[in-house]
Structure 1
Amino acid sequence: MSDRALRLALLGVSAAGVAVAGYLTAVHYRPAALICTGGGGCETVRESEYAVLAGVPVAVLGLAAWAAALALTLWGSELARTLTAALALSAAAFAAYLVLLQLFVIDAVCVWCIVNDVVLVPLLAVLALLRLRTAGSRGEG
């Protein structure tokens, strides 16, 4: 896959992440905006003590991370590639933690969170690592 294709894929995934995290942020501040499949999992997760970390909503942290991924991909330097990969791997570790919390502690699953944590974050990590590897193998800087 070419660097251009990887960069476009990263931009697309980051934009999707911004959209999902933006929606979750809006829902945090306006719970009535929540659109979720039945079962109440989204509400349970949103209302749990784990929805806020150090006084900051997890959705806001996600939005900031996705915005950073988008900005770093647009920047496109070797440092930006490295930072994108580091951000993606950190996000993947945090996403795994959040999924485990939903499954085993909160005992509820938010479909929007799963879209972010199980679909978009791993895709970001794979694409960022591929882009970093592609640049390194060609000696680009």
Structure 2
Amino acid sequence: MSDRLRTATLAVTVLGLGVAVYLTYAHYAGIDPACGISHGCSKVQASDWATFAGIPVAVLGLIGYVSILAVLLLVPGDTGLLAAVGLAWVGFGFSMYLTYVEIAEIDAICQWCVASAVCMTLLAALTTTRFLRAPSQETTA
């Protein structure tokens, strides 16, 4: 089970990283993210909420996913896993806040943002499960 959880954790992290890379590229290239017919991504990306403390939210996501991947791969044992748990829960909380903002303030849904929020939700669950199941048996990744 631990190998499957590790593989799932890494896969979800890489998937979330891919979403964050795409949104960061779209931001700096000045293009609207591919969003289908809803155009919610364009509305979200053009909103005042697209930056936080002057930093594009997509870049914050990129930093978050890279940080989680780094601690999973480079910091051994329980320390790395606990750091990943903490980072994933911070990312989850921030994602839930941003999802609320999309619905309540911007009145638009960005499918890419939702995909990232789903990835962070899964990462919070997966890293926590891994930590609680076998904290003394984990090494890296």
| Maintained 8 Å contact 1:85/1:129 | yes
Moved over 4 A (4+): none
Counterpart position of 2:45: 46
Which whole-Å deviations, capped at 9, do the CAs of 1:44-83 have from their partners, x for residues lacking one?
1001111101111000000010011111111242111000
Give the partner amino acid of 2:36: T
Amino acid at match of 2:106: I
- Are residues 1:84 and 2:81 paired? no
Unaligned runs of 5+ in 1: none
The 1:44–1:33 alpha-carbon spacing in structure 2 relative to 1, beyond 3 Å, is closer
Asked if the contact 2:32/2:41 (under 8 Å) is kept, the reply is no
Tell me, which stretches of 5 or more residues in structure 2 are unaligned?
A: none
Question: Which has more helix, going by share of residues?
Answer: 1
Instruction: Calculate the TM-score normalised by the size of structure 2.
Output: 0.91
On the 8 A contact 1:26/1:33 being kept in 2, the answer is no
Q: Distance in 2 between matches of 1:98 and 1:140?
A: 35
- Alignment-derived partner of residue 140 in structure 1: 137
* Contact 2:16–2:119 (CA under 8 A) maintained in structure 1: yes
Distance (whole Å) between structure 2 residues aligned to residue 82 and residue 34 of structure 1: 34
Deviation string 1:7-38 (CA, Å, 9 cap, x unpaired) is 11111111101100000000111132621111
Q: Is the 8 A contact 1:7 1:73 kept in 2?
A: no
Q: Equivalent residues in 2 for 1:16-35 (5 A)?
A: 16-32=15-31, 34-35=33-34
Aligned equivalents of 2:58, 2:86: Cα separation in 1: 20
Compute the RMSD of aligned alpha carbons.
1.3
